[in-house]
Amino acid sequence: MVSTRTFLTTAALVSSVLAQTCSVFPDVDFEGNDIAQTERSDASKCCTDCQATPGCKAYNWDSGVCYLKSKRGPSISAPGTVSGVVKPKPTTTTLKPTVKPTSVPTPKATPAPKPTLAPTEKPSPNPTPSPTPKPTPVPTQQPTSAPTFSSTPLPTPNPTPATTPFSTPVPTPSSTPSPTVEPTPEPTTVEPTPVPRGSIGIGANFAFCLEVAGASPGSNGGIPTRAASCNGSPTQLWRWVKMYLVHQASGMCLGPDPTTAQAHVFKCSFDYDQAWAPMDVNLVFVADTHLCLTATSPLQANQTVSSQPCVRGNDAQTIDVTYVDGKM
Flag whether pLDDT at 298 surpasses 70: yes
**317 phi and psi angles, rounded to 5 deg:** -105, 10
Domain annotation covers residue 178: no
Q: 92 to each of 86, 89, 95, 276, 292, how far by Cα in Å?
A: 18, 9, 10, 41, 42
pLDDT digits (tens, 9 = 90+) for 140-181: 555 445 444 445 455 555 655 555 555 556 656 556 666 677
Asked if the structure places residue 62 within a domain, the reply is yes
pLDDT of residue 120: 46
- Please tell me which residue, 12 or 124, carries the higher pLDDT value: 124
Task: For 29-58, give one letter per residue: b (16+ CB within 10 A) or e.
Answer: bbeebbbbbbbbeebebbbbbbbbbeebbb
Over residues 208-259, the pLDDT tens digits come to 999 998 878 888 889 999 999 999 999 999 999 999 999 999 999 999 998 8
Evaluate whether residue 100 is within a structural domain: no
Three-class secondary structure of residue 245 per DSSP: strand
Looking at the DSSP assignment, which residues form a beta bridge with residue 98?
Answer: none
Q: Is residue 165 part of a domain?
A: no
Domain termination site, one of 30, 57, 86: 86
Instruction: Specify if 145 maps to a domain.
Output: no
Average pLDDT over the chain, rounded to whole? 77
> Which pLDDT does position 231 carry in this prediction?
93
CATH number of the domain bearing residue 79: 3.50.4.10
Query: Could you tell me if residue 140 is inside a domain?
Result: no
User: Pick from 66, 73, 2: which is nearest to 274 by CA?
Assistant: 2
The parent domain of residue 55 ranges over 22-86
Domains identified in the chain, total number? 2
Please, is 244 exposed, middle or buried when counting C-beta atoms within 10 Å of its C-beta (0-12, 13-18, 19+)? buried
- CATH assignment at residue 288: 2.80.10.50
| Residue 324 φ then ψ, to 5° | -90, 125
Residue 35 pLDDT > 60, yes or no?
yes
For 255-277, letters b (16+ CB in 10 Å) and e give: bbbeeeebbbbbebeebbbbbbb
Q: Mark which of 86, 101, 125 sits at the end of a domain.
A: 86
Closest among 283, 303, 169, 157 to 227, alpha carbons compared: 303
Residue 128 is assigned to a structural domain of this protein = no
With respect to residue 143, please indicate whether it lies within any of the assigned structural domains: no
